[in-house]
Structure 1
Amino acid sequence: MTLTYRPGDTLAHRLDPRTKLFVQAAFALAVFARTGPRGLAAFTALVAGILLAGRVSPADALRGFAPALPFLVVAPLARTVVLSPAGSALPVGVDPAAAVEPALASYRVLLVLLVSATYLRTTPVRESRAAIERVVPGRLGRFLGVGVGLVFRFFPLLLADLRRVREASNARLGDRRSLPDRMRVVAAAGVRRAFARSDRLALALRARCFAWNPTLPELRFARRDYPAHCLGVALAASAFL
Structure 2
Amino acid sequence: MKLLGLLGLFLAQSAFASGGFNFFNEASHAFHVPAHTLALVAGSLIMIVAGVLYRAQISSAKNVIIPAKGINVRNLIEALGQAMYGTAKTVMGEDATKKYFSYVIFVFFFILINNLIGILPGSMSANQNLNTTLALGIFTFFYFNFQGIRAVGFVNYMKHFAGPMPALALLIFPIEIISVSVRPLSLALRLRGNMDGDHLILGIFSELVPYIVPIPFYAMGMFVGFLQAFVFTLLTMIYIGMATAHHDHGDHEHHH
Tell me which of the two structures has the higher relative contact order, counting C-alpha pairs closer than 8 angstroms and 6 or more residues apart. 1
Higher helix share: 2
Q: TM-score, normalised by structure 2?
A: 0.29
Q: TM-score, normalised by structure 1?
A: 0.31
